[in-house]
Amino acid sequence: MDAFFTTIVARFSIPRWMCLASVLLGFGSPLAAQHDPGRDALRLIARGKQQQAITRLETPPRRQNSPVDAAETSFVLAIAACEMGDHHAAKKHLQTAVQEGLPSERVLAGARKCLTALRQDASFAQWLGSLSPTIHQRPLLHGPMLTQVTDQRAEVWLRTETANLVRLLVKPEAHADSGQTDVLVSAAVKTDPARDYTGVVGIDGLQPNTEYLYQLEIDHQQVTDWIPFRTFPPEGKPAAFRIAFGGGAGYTPQFHHMWQTILRHQPVAMLMLGDNVYIDDPEHVLTQRYCYYRRQSEPLWRGLVARTSLFSIYDDHDFGTDDCHGGPKIDDPPWKRTVWNVFRENWNNPAYGGGEKQPGCWYDFQIGDVHFIMLDGRYYRDPNGGSMLGPVQREWLLQTLGNSKGTFKLLVSPVPWSPGIKPGSKDPWDGFPDEREQIFSFIEQQKIDGVVLMAADRHRSDLRRIVRNNTYPLFELMSSRLTNVHTHPLMKDAKGSEFIMGYNDHCSFGRVDFDTTRSDPTLTYSIFNIDDAFIGEHTIRLSELQHP
C-alpha cells in the first residue's frame, strides 16, 4: 500500500497527508476499521454522516480479540442521535451506556453539547445528578495526572466539568499517620474553558528522591484521597532509578490491564512515545477529544498516571494519519496548529517545541544524571527537503546534545532509528538517511559519550545495535505494542542493524533501570509482557559507549 500512495503522490503532486486522509476517511478503506468502530463512527459524525456512523457501529470488529464494547457503542449512538436532533434517542442511549459500564465522566465531558438540550428534561437532569456518589466529586472529570516531576517540584494535570478553582496539597509520606501538619499548599488555579476545562497545579520546595503524598481540592473540597509519588533524584548527580516506556496504545478494552502491569513495576516516569491514542482525524477536534476522553476515563490508566510522572510525544496516528508528514511550514496544512493545541490540552510536558512561534512537541528533561531528549517526528517532516525534524528542531537537537552533561543521553524518537526495520518504507529514519547521518556524525565529531537511542512505532519490543566505523555502536531500545492488537515481525535479519533481542507474541512494554552510581554506570533494558511475564534483558555499560 505504501507503494500505491507513493505513485499517486508523485503523479498528481498531492501532499501525502491529503492522499492518506482521503483514502482512510473518505473512501471506506479497510484501514478505517483497523482499530475500533467507536473512533471510526466519530470520524463520520464529525463530517455530518450520522447514518453512516450508525452503520459502522453495527459492523463487527474485523480483528480477532476485539470484542464489541456495548457501552461505547451506546455512547456514540447517543452522540449521533444528538447531532441528528433526536434528543429522546440520545437520552436513552446515554442511560444505556452508563448501565453497560460507561464511566459517568464520559457523559459529562464527552457530551457537553448534547447535555445542553437534554438538561431541560427534568427526569434526565435528575438521572444525571445521580451519576456521581456525591455532588462535590463530579467536577473532577479526568486526572489527576502526575507530570513534570523534578527533584524539587511536581505538577498535576486535570479536567473539570466547569471552570473550577483547584489547589494541590502535598505532604511527606513519612508523616502520613503522624498527625503533623506540614502540608504544602499550592496557589489556586482555575481550570480554563478555552483549554477544554483543563488546568495544571504545581508545587515547589520538595526534597529530592523522597516519597510524598498529594491531594486535590476543587472549590475548597477534597476530591481525591492522598496519592503517593516520589520526587526524582538530585539533578546532575549519580542515581539508581527506573522508567517505563512504549507506544502503540490503541483502544482495546481487553488489554487495559497493561496500565496496572506497568504500575506494579513502580517506575518514576512513564514515557509515551507516540500513537498514544489512535485518532487519525487531524481536521476534526470532535474526534480528537473523543479519543483522549476515552483514554482519560479508563480506571486503570488513571491509576497509573496519578502515581507516575508522564512524558509524551506524538506520532502519525495521534498527529495526522498513517505515515503522515506535516511539511516544512508552520501553519500549512492549517490543521497542524489545532492538533498541536489539542495535544497540549491533554498532556503537560516541560515544553512544546518552540512554543507559539514554532509549535512542536520536542523538549528535554533530566532524571539524576540521565538526559532525555524527546523529538517531534511529524510536525515539520518534509520528505522533499530530506528532513524529519526541520531546521529549527535539528539545530536545537545538536546544540542540546553538544551541551549535555548527562552520563547517559537518550535520543528519543517516535519512529525507529535502526536501518532495515521496515523494508521499503520511508516512514522511519530510513526515509531520512542524510539527516540521521548528520546526527550520528555529530556524535562522533564532538566525541559525545553515552548516547543511547529509543523509539516506538513498530508493534513489538526489541533491542538493536547500529555498528559505526569510527566510534562506539549505537544501541536502540524499542517498544510500541502497549495495547495494540496488530503485531509487526521482529526483523531479525534486517540489513544495517543487528538484532539482539525482541518479543511480539503479546502486548509488552519496555523497562529501563539506570544505575550511574556504579564505577562503570549501567543501563539495563528489560521487556515484560502485558501479563507481567519477564521476556529478557540486556545490560549496556557506559564503557561500551565511549570514544577511543
Give the structural domain span for 487: 240-545
Same domain, 341 and 439: yes
Is residue 33 predicted with pLDDT exceeding 60?
no
Question: Across residues 216-224, what is the average pLDDT?
Answer: 94
What's the whole-number average pLDDT of the chain? Answer: 91
Looking at the 3D structure of the chain, how many domains does it have?
3
For residues 64 and 350, the model is more confident at 350
Question: Across residues 97-108, what is the average pLDDT?
Answer: 92
Same domain, 270 and 206: no
Between 168-182, 254-268, 296-310, 409-423, the lowest mean confidence (pLDDT) is in 168-182
Helix (H, G, I), strand (E, B) or coil at 475: strand
- The pLDDT tens digits of the residues spanning 357-407 come to 999 999 999 999 999 999 999 999 999 999 999 999 999 999 999 999 999
Q: Is residue 160 classed exposed, middle or buried when 0-12, 13-18 and 19+ CB atoms within 10 A define those classes?
A: buried
Give the sheet arrangement for strand 154-160, strand by strand. Answer: 198-203, 154-160, 140-147, 309-312, 269-272, 240-246, 508-515, 522-529, 534-541
- The pLDDT tens digits of the residues spanning 430-467 come to 999 999 999 999 999 999 999 999 999 999 999 999 99
**DSSP code at position 545:** G
Same domain, 372 and 516: yes
**Which pLDDT does position 111 carry in this prediction?**
87
**Which pLDDT does position 548 carry in this prediction?**
87
Side chain identity, residue 377:
G
**Last residue in a domain, options 211, 230, 249:** 230
- C-alpha cell belonging to residue 420: 532495515
Residue 7 inside a domain? The answer is no
Per-residue confidence at 166, pLDDT binned at 50, 70, 90?
Answer: very high
Residue 23 inside a domain? The answer is no
For residue 431, the domain's CATH number is: 3.60.21.70
Work out the number of other CB atoms within 10 angstroms of the CB of residue 356. 11
Is residue 16 predicted with pLDDT exceeding 60?
no
Helix (H, G, I), strand (E, B) or coil at 79: helix
Same domain, 121 and 192: no
Chain position carrying cell 454522516: 49
Is residue 20 predicted with pLDDT exceeding 60?
no
Q: Rg (Cα) of the chain, in Å, rounded?
A: 23
CA distances from 414 to 94, 401, 470 (A): 37, 18, 26
**Which pLDDT does position 10 carry in this prediction?**
35
Same domain, 372 and 294: yes
Residue 9 inside a domain? The answer is no
**How far is 105 from 139, CA to CA, in rounded Å?**
9
Is residue 118 predicted with pLDDT exceeding 50?
yes
- The pLDDT tens digits of the residues spanning 459-513 come to 999 999 999 998 999 999 999 999 999 999 999 999 999 999 999 999 999 999 9
**Which pLDDT does position 407 carry in this prediction?**
98
**How far is 506 from 484, CA to CA, in rounded Å?**
9
**Last residue in a domain, options 131, 162, 188:** 131
- The pLDDT tens digits of the residues spanning 227-242 come to 999 999 999 999 999 9
Question: Across residues 201-213, what is the average pLDDT?
Answer: 97
**Last residue in a domain, options 186, 210, 230:** 230
Nearest alpha-carbon partner for 297 in 320, 272, 277: 277
**How far is 448 from 282, CA to CA, in rounded Å?**
38
- The pLDDT tens digits of the residues spanning 262-287 come to 999 999 999 999 999 999 999 999 99
**Which pLDDT does position 133 carry in this prediction?**
55
